[in-house]
Chains A and B, each alone.
Chain A
């Protein structure tokens, strides 16, 4: 392919949030990097019948072209399930009544109005046509923080799981094709 050389994307700074990314070598080749907030995010013990909104979680993206982000969960219906600390309970696990919800609450430092969406295992487009994050002649790319919050509406149908807890895994995929 004329005019292109090998392309790579690697962080210059230590994980989890690089200050910027190195995208080499071509102006024409794509580069995309995603850094995640700390995991697990522990909500602690919530009261039944209440709604808990987490602190903002920042996904840091570095990209030299426009990108989108999709989000999904490991559980089909998005409802957190009883977790031993090492694995989901297999036999008759407790499952929360309501799905975990997510909303994009900021983009590149600018707050956005949350539109809450119940998560499930089908990837949901959290944002499209984002970026690029600003690159120095296509090589060194800056970063954007994509802020998200989670919302959990607990029910009086939700039993205490202690000594276990409830868990769900949220997966984000950033892609130039989204």
Chain B
């Protein structure tokens, strides 16, 4: 193992230096003698910032719907937080109604729109069904769950269900689709 020598700091000057060392040692008090053990301490301090992380579901393609009231599969938001937190959801459409979409943009001129708004509810929070009813989305963020506790490192899953009533008033969008954008807002303090 390579070692870094510190011997050069001594600048040996022969017997005179040794004599000086001996002389210095001779006046040391006996209370400092024979050190075969030495102890030292260092304290380590830190704080932990209030931290929140979340993962969100990817785009959900419902496919071709027939008149009826289908319910989506669970759409799961995973939240990790070391302080109290909550989740809100909203849509880009003020009234929560899905609108004709080209694949790149909403149709601007006389778009087809569904007759009924998309509705939603929290299905489970941390695996527990809170028993919530479906409610229509709006552009105003609505609380899915709030005042949730510290999550730990695996986080807490909030599973949302969507439900869309399709009526005979809803025409096929043809080569286009119907679309709405759901936004999730997770924050500490909700």
The chain A residues found within 8 Å of chain B, CB to CB, are 6-10, 19-20, 22, 24-25, 29-49, 52, 54, 57, 59, 61, 80, 83, 96, 100, 107-110, 133-134, 136-137, 139-140, 142-144, 150, 152, 154-162, 164-177
B43 touches A24 (CB 8 A): no
Please give 10 more A-B residue pairs, beta carbons under 8 A apart, in addition to A30-B34, A107-B1, A156-B151. A10-B28, A24-B28, A39-B43, A41-B43, A43-B44, A136-B10, A157-B151, A160-B83, A166-B47, A177-B36
In chain B, positions 42-73 with a C-beta closer than 8 Å to chain A are 42-51, 53
Between A and B, 28 residue pairs with Cβ closer than 8 Å are A10-B32, A22-B21, A22-B25, A24-B21, A24-B26, A29-B34, A30-B36, A32-B37, A40-B43, A42-B46, A44-B46, A48-B49, A48-B51, A52-B46, A110-B3, A134-B6, A139-B22, A139-B25, A142-B10, A143-B6, A156-B81, A157-B82, A160-B83, A161-B48, A169-B43, A170-B41, A175-B36, A177-B37
A166 touches B48 (CB 8 A): yes
B4 touches A167 (CB 8 A): no
Q: Give the number of residue pairs across the A-B interface with Cβ within 8 Å.
A: 217
A9 touches B35 (CB 8 A): yes
